[in-house]
A and B are shown apart, each in its own frame.
Chain A
């Protein structure tokens, strides 16, 4: 192939990749990291994370000023935010904010109240209700209930609002929510943008901040007031804000460090394009391959994938560093290529296991890496010799590199001490007490622990839903879903009573906000006709001190309720309750789903057994915390399994290609040693291993296998030995710098991978040198 043909082919390939990339869709949808056939609980978990009501809830606290000033800010803020296009709901406890809800419950109380049953409005029942009313009037709540009494002597609205509050009500001062100690005013805000729409959520947060600044500045007494926001939207936006600059700073630092090292090692800037061309080509090819194969590229694939093919920088170093100054690059190829090819093949085989992952995200990463590495090595093999025909002049540290080569040759004497160290690490690892893996999602989250704690504290103060246990009810249509939710709600409520085992504290069902049509009709049928009602009322009030005609509004309201049109989803439009209903009752491609939220589950296992005993395939009990932990376990289990398969495949490959078999040992032992010692160091340092450590170890194998192959291929007395070892040292320093920089990151994933790879790569080099053929480097 002529040089021109090579360049044309390469250029055409890059152009094609660019074309594919220009048209691809980048997704940040978490469902790519769901198993391909998710359990219903996992599906619900991901839906809740993506767009559920919880993912849109912002908890707002105002502090730093006297309580009256804070409550003033709260009122002005709520007023300013009401009707903001980015926000769906703003509540600070003021009655005005709940007007829509109260009106809905008040107007429709007789269709909504479960107490409305045949006999509820007969004379004896009315008499009992009226006597209860007199007791209420005598009590300290008398001033509160007397206003609704003429319309609602049977107390339906009190029961409904009581159930709505769910027992937990935040403290109030000046009519707005405050913390128990009065140091904070509290608000709840729901963003319109769903959990995955970070731009939308960022705009919503900006709106809250602007509203707060204006509300604070309106009152000199509130000058010192501070705004504290928390909740999933805040975490998501803040993580992105924190991660973007941190990632770009660290990448810049790492690239700068690598570039400086290369300049130092080569003494010419021409090394830079050469070193980065294979990586860049590989990244483009990997992205395009994933876009073509999957139809979309996940954001995580892009971020991680480039890290995974970072070893491609080494390829150019091997080529340029191992070519003697002034000599044709091509002359180096016959010696370099077989080893390099095997090195890339090892990495490809190792990552190929990921292709079989049941998580789309993992499979994408596998494909990205394979395509990226293959293209990178191809560019190194065919394109670089064209662009860079002759070896670079020896740089200032070449002689230092040669000396390093001699030093590494001396490492051969450390072979047995290092083997002993590996054995010792293995023993430490094997006898490590306590759990091996970090399975607490919170510790893997980029959200600082202090922020997580603040979030929980505010959540408790404000009584915000901390949706964890859910019963999922599947049905063909909305009406059926509501009817089933009513039936199941009754059975679940029975489990909340002492007689039912007090397995939970309470439930929230969609039918509390919108009963099924059948139930609404039954309640209408339970309301007597006006004449009968009046007669019953007359009997019931006899001898009680109520003024005559006091209850005429009650009679009128009941007559209206008997004839009113049935409620549907439209009746709730624009209310907070409507939002709630939408989060508990929604359509799926295969039917409708009603969610019953469980509060205060005391015995999840017993509850699980009871629900399982119902043997109802349409009903599933879900613990979202357990589901997300389970998902992490699945990831980790699969990652371990795939890594094991990958390691096995790498061994087979080496056994197949390496002759004599002793060389397999020379390659495999240092790799295994590096992995074991690195894992042990991480285990001892952090107490646990995380899934990020595992990713790091995969990279250690990919990078380290190249070192081991090169060392194992050294021949005694070969004049190229010094250059080969020098190239390995430079490549290794690049890796250690590149990943060592990540180790300072505060983001758990970057820190985990960075430390693992930096330590593991260094160990790989030392161990590979120790296991090199005797006298290889020294000759």
Chain B
């Protein structure tokens, strides 16, 4: 695990930054964080996801594993309550609904809503600020040791569905992903990185 050296002053400066970063003027803490994240080439984790929806009387729970390989491979394998795999490789999105049917291959570019969600996690893990900025206005709170990234969607299509995505992490590991939808529903994913 390559945790780059963190300078206190930089973290402080980043914490003070409130305005959304313009492309030309990326706050040093964000650059620092992204560089640290980019340094990590693979990661594996378990996740527990809970989805809170107005139409349901209790949250939907699912769990499984996440695997990331730099720069753009991401696999989300849901193990319970039902096997389902979603894997992304570049622009290729493969949805394997498990025992219910065969895998389907889609182009990520043709599914802007899903692309936005995938990019939020993948772009963060890859430390790809430009990729993130394509879909979101990115705001950083905290600094490389303990940080919160607030992603506000730019695209109209996605803005209709999603208010914001918040990623909370320590060093190069994402610990929580929270998706707030426009109708008040929200999804919370807790991630436990496996030690290597």
Contact = CB atoms under 8 A, between A and B. Distances in A.
Contacts of A545: 56-58, 60
A169 B183 CA distance: 28
Given A140-B117, A143-B161, A171-B107, A135 B82 contact: yes
A139 interface: yes
Contacts of A547: 54-57
Nearest to B82: A135
Contacts of A550: 55
Given A173-B109, A173-B155, A180-B91, A143 B60 contact: no
B113 A137 contact: no
Nearest to A147: B183
B187 to A, nearest CB: 8
B62 A138 contact: yes
B157 A175 contact: yes
Contacts of B95: 139
A138 B155 contact: no
A143 B113 contact: yes
Contact of A172 (B56, B82, B100, B110): B110
Contacts of A390: none
A493 interface: no
B84 A150 contact: no
Given A169-B110, A175-B155, A139 B49 contact: no
A178 B60 CA distance: 35
A462 to B, nearest CB: 11
Given A174-B155, A180-B107, A547-B55, A141 B60 contact: no
Nearest to B109: A171
A149 B84 CA distance: 21
A134 interface: yes
Contacts of A139: 78, 84, 86, 95
A132 interface: yes
B21 interface: no
Interface in A137-195: 137-144, 146, 149-150, 169-175, 178, 180, 182
B55 A138 contact: no
B112 interface: yes
A171 B110 contact: yes
A145 B126 CA distance: 29
A178 B155 contact: no
Interface string A98-137: 0000000000000000000000000000000000101101
A546 interface: yes
Chain A interface size band reads: 20 to 34
A546 B55 CA distance: 6
Contact of A175 (B53, B57, B110, B112): B112
A142 B181 CA distance: 11
B55 A150 contact: yes
Interface in B54-97: 54-58, 60, 62, 76, 78, 82, 84, 86, 91, 95, 97
Contacts of A174: 155-157
A174 B155 CA distance: 6
B162 interface: yes
Nearest to B181: A143
A144 B114 CA distance: 9
A496 B45 CA distance: 40
B129 to A, nearest CB: 18
A178 B55 contact: no
A547 B57 CA distance: 6
Contact of A138 (B49, B91, B100): B49
Contacts of A142: 51, 187
Nearest to A150: B55
Interface string A699-710: 000000000000
A172 B162 contact: no
A2 B85 CA distance: 99
B109 A138 contact: no
A172 B57 contact: no
Contacts of A182: 109
Nearest to B157: A175
A182 B107 CA distance: 13
A546 B57 contact: yes
Interface string B97-132: 100100000110111111001100000000000000
A150 B157 CA distance: 22
Contacts of B100: 132, 135
A140 B114 contact: yes
Nearest to B179: A143
A172 B158 CA distance: 12
A600 B156 CA distance: 34
B84 A178 contact: no
Given A138-B60, A139-B84, A175-B156, A146 B112 contact: no
B110 A143 contact: no
A193 to B, nearest CB: 31
A178 B112 contact: no
Given A143-B113, A143-B181, A547-B57, A137 B51 contact: yes
A169 B107 contact: yes
Contacts of A144: 113, 161
Contacts of B111: 172
Contacts of B114: 140-141
A138 B113 CA distance: 15
Nearest to A177: B110
Nearest to B97: A135
Nearest to A463: B110
Contact of B53 (A146, A173, A180): A146
A545 B106 CA distance: 31
A178 B55 CA distance: 35
A178 to B, nearest CB: 7
A642 B181 CA distance: 75
Contacts of B118: 140
B189 to A, nearest CB: 11
A256 B170 CA distance: 85
A149 B62 CA distance: 20
User: In this complex, which of A144, A171, A180 has the most chain B Cβ atoms within 10 angstroms of its Cβ?
Assistant: A171
A294 B75 CA distance: 70
A146 B55 contact: yes
Contacts of A135: 82, 84, 97, 100
Contacts of A170: 110
A150 B95 CA distance: 24
A149 B111 CA distance: 20
A137 B60 contact: yes
A543 to B, nearest CB: 11
Contacts of A172: 109-112, 157
B83 to A, nearest CB: 10
Given A137-B60, A545-B60, 10 more contacts: A135-B97, A137-B53, A138-B60, A139-B78, A139-B95, A171-B109, A173-B109, A174-B157, A546-B55, A550-B55
Interface of A: 132, 134-135, 137-144, 146, 149-150, 169-175, 178, 180, 182, 545-547, 550
The 7 closest A-B pairs by CB, nearest first: A171-B109, A169-B110, A545-B56, A545-B58, A138-B62, A545-B57, A175-B157
17 contacts: A135-B82, A135-B84, A137-B53, A138-B84, A139-B84, A140-B76, A143-B113, A143-B161, A143-B181, A173-B155, A174-B156, A174-B157, A175-B112, A545-B56, A546-B56, A547-B54, A547-B56
